[in-house]
Structure formats: structure tokens, C-alpha cells
Structure 1
Amino acid sequence: MASSKIPLVTLFLVVSAFYLQIIEAETEQHASLKLNSRILQESIITQINENPKSGWKAAMNPRFSNFTVGQFKRLLGVKPTPKKELEITPIVTHPKSLKLPSEFDARTAWSQCSSIGRILDQGHCGSCWAFGAVESLSDRFCIHYSMNISLSVNDLLACCGFLCGSGCDGGYPLSAWRYFIHHGVVTEECDPYFDDIGCSHPGCEPAYPTPKCVRKCVDGNQLWRESKHYSVNAYRINSDPHDIMAEIYQNGPVEVAFTVYEDFAHYKSGVYKHITGDVMGGHAVKLIGWGTSDDGENYWLLANQWNRSWGDDGYFMIRRGTNECGIEDDVVAGLPSTKDLVREVADVDANVDADASF
């Protein structure tokens, strides 16, 4: 007569599978609760502000007053660059003999360039990868060719397609600079950013789809092709702080990507370093300078694109020289091109000559 007893091994496997299902369900429930909880927490603010070693101040930034963790994470749109892409990209270094100032701010170094001090708002879209690139290239056109222009994030976001990533669901900063070489980017006047509402209205929903690529200027008098501005190249900057500083000092602001933690959403002033909270994602911004705080902390100065109601009037400082949150690992840029600009540059030169004659 066959035994009806279940082998111990089988029984163990059944019980284990049952408990694993319970654990997985609880983990998913916890993750769901986490995503739906508020990103701004009084407990995080207290932990930062009561820690004398934090070096920075936290606050309830109005920009994220109604944001959940899930909504905040959507804004962090930097995807890790594929290894093969990194391997084929030139890495720029600068001579150690180059003397650099102890502090530098691109806004004052090139005060004639209004774009450098502009704080934008990426709104509901994970387009930080596009903002950091377009803003830096705009600044470099002014620095190198005396052209005060504002280039279009929308062109890059909508028209680069899968080569740059997934639009509002994130992209690759390096690919953005490659797009500038081959396709150029039109002006903001030609193709304005699709989400100009930001998140100030009640019940703001951040899940916006990527805008469609239209390739037509909103002003019928402007031609898309003639509005394009190009980059000569796309490169990475060596992660040594001296190389990054020299690049900014000689060529203008650069795009940087770094890891964002929960506490960063609460940044108000001072030199940021990660103190508490989980990883939220990767974010790209524009690096415009450096210096040393009154407390002796070396810092990088950066412009964010979360409007002026976040941080220090839209800007923030982060610890320099220790690769805080990977800030020195992923620095990219390119030089502006004169392609299609012969007439515009000639006009600028004519104006300069006219000014000089007085």
C-alpha cells in the first residue's frame, strides 16, 4: 500500500514558497506605500537642520509641496550611459600648470550672457538630461560667439528619439551632445518648451507624455532648418576637479549628472552632501562655478531647473573634491559650431566694430 506521507523536502519547499509569496507581497505593498508618500518630510528637515555637521539647511520647498515620492522620481531622468558609448567618447584633460582662481562664477565672468543666470522649470517631465545640455550649449554660444540665444529643449526632447533614450521618461546626457553635432538644435523662440505650466496649479499631475516632434517653428516667419545651431563635438571631462574647473573656466558651463537622494528635495542653502534617505534616481544639471564656504568646505555651484521656488533661488552648492553623489564622474560638454552661423557671426562682428569706432 502506497504511503500518503508528503516527503519532508517537498513540504519544506511548499512552505518556503508560501512564505516567499507573503514577503514579496509585503515588499510590493511597502514599495507602493513609499511611492505614494510625500517626498517632503518634517523628520528629514529636522535631521538635517539639527545636525551641526550637515553643512546645509533643509526646508519645505514649495516646488514639491504636493509631490509624492513617485512623482519626484519621475523628474530624475538620467539613464546610465551604456559602457560602449563611454569607451568611444574622448575624455578631455587640461594642463595642471593652468592657474585657476579659488572661486569662480560664470554669471559674473561672462555677465553679458543672460542665459547663464536663467533658472528654468522642467515641469512634469523627466527631461533634466535635455535641459542640462541645451542650457550649457546656449551659454557657450554667448561665451564663444557673443550670441545671446536661448536654445530649444523641446527640439532635443521630442526629436532625438530612442537615440537619446525615452524623452520624458529619461535620457542620456552624452547622446544629447551628439544630437547637437549631427542635427543641431533650434531656438526656444522657434520651438518653445511644451510644458510651460510648471507645477504651480492645483492637482498638478506630473505624468506628461513626451511631446511629438513637429520640425516646424511656431512662428510661420521662421524656418526650422535656418534656426538650427550646432556643436562641433561631444566629450567627457576627466573626473579630476582641476580638469572640470579648467573646462568651465576656459569654455563655459558644463552638464553634470549625479545621484539624488530623498534629502536633496529638501535643499535650501549651504553646501549639500547626502545625509539621509533612499536613492531616488539620476539627475542632470548645469555646473557654473566653484568656491569655498565660510566653514572651509569646497563646493561646486550649480543651476537646477526646478524653478526658483526650489533651493537657493533655483541654485545649489554641493561638496567639491570628494565625488559627492558621483558629481565628478559624469561631466559632459561640447564646443559650439559656426555651422550655418556665418551671417549671424558677421552681424555680431559688424556691431562690435561699430561700437569700437565710437
Structure 2
Amino acid sequence: MGFNTRVFLLTYLFLLGTISPSYSEQVLAEDAHSKLKLSSQILQDSIVKEINEHPNAGWQASMNLRFSNFTVGEFKRLLGVKPTPHRELRKTPTVTHSPSLKLPAQFDARTAWSQCSTIGRILDQGHCGSCWAFGAVESLSDRFCIHFGMNISLSVNDLLACCGFMCGGGCDGGYPIYAWRYLMNHGVVTEECDPYFDDTGCSHPGCEPAYPTPKCVRKCVNGNQMWRASKHYSLSAYRVDSNPHNIMAEVYKNGPVEVSFSVYEDFAHYKSGVYKHVTGDMLGGHAVKLIGWGTTDDGEDYWLIGNQWNRSWGDDGYFMIRRGTNECGIEEDVVAGLPSSKNLVREFAGVADDGSYLSI
């Protein structure tokens, strides 16, 4: 509903005596503030100062180059996670792991599987609210290397463009669990076959204009490659129980996972340390790739996460966030799936009785 329409409706209701003048004034003031807020700059010296002078913040803030000249509205467009409907939460299988599994105090998937180059990649979602697709495809790429020994980069573009309304709204946001179902049912081709449409990333001020969702072409850019032959699938799509031990065990056994969390204004300013929300409004939901955990010298437990806002943001593209307290909902919506040997007949003969993969 537009601002002018709300003015008319609130005035009409006031004249009918349905609402009080104080209520209508409050709502209209909120609308005006909202418009003003969206057009303001996301990076604020006052936020940097408040964080860096806060005795218990636990992290450092800066004016990150990634969001130079970004407005709040432009930043919000990148936060593309839509809340999962409750009926989907109920019918999606949830994975738990044995509480007796011994886990290391520190873990980093980049070093645990150093042969897997995709784990350490920091990408850039550019102008599009495609984080829900990046988190899924990046995690599955990593898991193909971990489980199959294949260093492949899978196509975010395939999922973003071709999943359609089943996954949500493309660049206008989507649902991580639906993304994994698409990977299971339809698979995705390689990045080489279908590169990400916004390959310029954020090279110009403000990242404008915002790009629409790319069209689904179903044809490799290289005429010598076949679309169907390039497909790689997930064997499953599941949630991971929110107990931190279960999340750690899942990463330890199977590789990085996709996690979603609520983003506040201060997060845009993250530079280093263990993030926890200190100041600013909540702006939306964001999906990222969780690759490890640890504890700082000061005793702060954290999750280690790779973002897709390029290396000019945060700690070389990464960030740490407080572990064990469900900070910003980071432990509530963890999703993943195992890689499938489907379509890989040249590399693998199948799966053994114990679930391990057999190489030809």
C-alpha cells in the first residue's frame, strides 16, 4: 500500500471515528520515517563510533567499502531470505547427531579439507537478493569435494533463474529449504556451464540499478557442453537440529551448511571480532555458509562464516558470530543435503552398503 493511499484510508477511518487522531498521526509519521530511512546511507559514523567505544561489543566496526554510497533500501535488497512457512518446518526432516560424538574445540573446514578450493572462495551476490541461492549452492559444491573428491563450482544462476516461484522470487528473495529441494529434484549445472549473471559484482557506486532475476535459459554458454549432462544433484534436503552440538557435528562430518539469520543495521559495519547485535533496526533475513567454530582468547564462543559480499566487506569476506545463544536466529534455520552420485556414472559406480561412495 502506497503512502498516499494510506493517508486517504487513515483520514477516512478517522472521519468515521474508527481510529483516534493520535493513532493516525503515529502511523503516518512511521510511514514518512520509513521512506526517509530507506533513502539514508546504510554506513553511519555514529554506528561505528558506538560499536568501537562499547565496552562489551566484542567486535570492531568500520565503514566497509562494499557498501560505500549504499542506501538502507539498497542494502535491504541483498537480504533475500523469506521466512519458512510453518507447515514446511513441520514436514521437513530434521537431522540430529549422537551427543557422544567428540568434537574439536576449534574447527575450520578450509583446513580440514584443504584440498577443496571451493570452501575458501568468497563470492559476490552483486545487486541481487540471491543469498538464499548462494548459501545452498556453495555448500553443495563443497560437499561434492568432501564426499566425492570433486573440485567443482556449481551454478548459483541455474537455481536463481530456473527454480521460479517454487523457491520464492529470485532476486527478490527465496526460501533456503526450497533451494535444497530444487537441488535434490532438478540439480544444478556447473558455473562453467551457466555463470552468475551479475559478474560485475558491486564495482560502481550504489550498485544501481537493482537487477531483475535472470531468465532461465537451460543452455550452457559453451556450445560444446550439454545442460543435462552438467547437472549435479543433492541426495537429500533437511534441517539440522538447532542444538549447537548438532550443527557442529553436521559440519564436522559432512561439510559446510547453509544458515539464515536476522540482519540489523550494525552488521553492515562489521570488520572483525565476534559479532552480536548492539544497535540499529532489523532490516531482513540473510543466508550464508557456516564453515566452522571456535572460542576466542577472551572465552567467547563463535561460529565461523563465509559471506558473499566480496572480500572488501568484513574480515576478508568472513565474519564470526556468537555461538550457543542463537544470536540473531543463527542456530534456528540450518539446512543442508548430501551430494548425490546421480549423473556421475563416469566418476562413480554407486554407493556401498555402508553408505560410502565407490569410485570406478
**Same fold, TM-score > 0.5, yes or no:** yes
* Structure 1 residue 196 corresponds to structure 2 residue 194: no
Which ranges in structure 2 are unaligned for 5 or more consecutive residues? 1-12, 350-357
Tell me the equivalent position of 2:85: 82
**SS of match in other structure, 1:306:** coil
For residue 64 of structure 2, what is the aligned residue in structure 1? 61
1:119 equivalent among 109, 122, 140: 122
| Equivalent of 2:265 in 246, 262, 267 | 262
1:170 corresponds to: 173
User: What is the percentage of aligned positions where both structures have the same residue?
Assistant: 76
| CA contact 2:70–2:206 (8 Å) conserved in 1 | no
The Cα offsets for residues 62-87 of structure 1, whole Å up to 9 and x where unpaired, read as 00011000000010000001111111
Indicate which of 239, 244, 248 corresponds to 1:241. 244
User: Residue 94 of structure 1 corresponds to which residue in structure 2?
Assistant: 97
- Pairwise CA distance, 1:25: 2.9
| TM-score normalised according to structure 1 size | 0.92
Do the aligned residues in 2 keep the contact of 1:254 with 1:288 (CA within 8 Å)?
yes
Q: Give the alignment partner of residue 223 of structure 2, picking from 217, 220, 223.
A: 220
TM-aligned CA deviation for residue 202 of structure 1: 3.6
Contact kept in structure 2, 1:125 and 1:206, CA below 8 Å: no
- Corresponding residue to 2:54 among 27, 43, 51: 51
Pair 1:159–1:12, CA change in 2 (3 A): closer
How many aligned positions are there? 340
> Alpha-carbon deviation of 1:31?
0.6
C-alpha displacement at 1:227, in angstroms?
0.2
State how far apart, in whole Å, the 1-side matches of 2:283 and 2:35 are. Answer: 14
Contact 2:136 2:179 in 1 (8 A): yes
The answer for the alignment partner of 2:7 in structure 1 is none
2:155 match: 152
Is the partner of 1:123 in helix, strand or coil? coil
Work out the CA distance in 1 between the residues paired with 2:105 and 2:153: 30
Q: Is the 8 A contact 2:261 2:286 kept in 1?
A: yes
Corresponding residue for residue 134 of structure 2 = 131
How far did residue 22 of structure 1 move? 3.9
Dislocated runs of 4+, deviation >6 Å: none
Q: Deviations over 1:237-288 (max 9, x none)?
A: 0000000000000000000000000000000000000000000100000000
SS of residue matched to 2:48: helix
Question: Could you say what the CA RMSD is over the residues aligned between the two structures, in angstroms?
Answer: 2.0
Asked if 2 retains the 8 angstrom alpha-carbon contact of 1:71 and 1:206, the reply is: no
Q: Please tell me whether residue 330 in structure 1 is matched to residue 333 in structure 2.
A: yes
The C-alpha deviation readout for 1:88-113, integer Å capped at 9, x for no partner, is 11110000111000000000000000
* Residue in structure 1 matched with residue 280 of structure 2 by the alignment: 277
